[in-house]
Amino acid sequence: MRVGIGYDVHTLVENRSLILGGVNIPYEKGLLGHSDADVLLHAIMDSLLGAAALGDIGKHFPDSDPRFKDASSIKLLSHVGNLLKEKGYSINNIDATIIAQRPKLSPFINEMRENIASALNITLEDINIKATTEEGLGFTGSGEGISSQSICSII
């Protein structure tokens, strides 16, 4: 068994969609980034790539490459799943946390899990997603950005 961790953070800005776990969340701001800036999926991809010793998302999907401009992170996640499969790995489980003061994310978590399971060809029971606030502290607590952490195990 191998274990990987991932972390990502993006700034919240106006005139962008807020996409988390492949779900378009109704909110007045979205995350700034080269792709769709889905911090949850970025953290999950980094944890999976790290567990397999395959680098990070910057190596596989550099922000200097125009092919990834506004790219769907759910498609990038599917590609990461295929990389693991090619190396002979299977995903045992993923546990991820989204850190955001606003908006309330609990109504969207099951759909996020379904998107991730579908992209990685794993069962819903292998994925856990949580959302928490930072009680108004720090950049996420003040609403300046959203971050996410992920840990996974692969075999």
Binding site: which residues?
8-10, 34-35, 42, 56-58, 61-65, 132-135, 139
Alpha-helical segments (H) within 1-108 = 39-51, 57-60, 73-86
CB atoms within 10 A of CB 103: 17
Give the chain's length. Answer: 155
Annotated binding-site ranges for a divalent metal cation:
8, 10, 42
Burial zone of 45 (CB within 10 Å; 0-12 exposed, 13-18 middle, 19+ buried):
buried
Tokens of 18: 């807020």
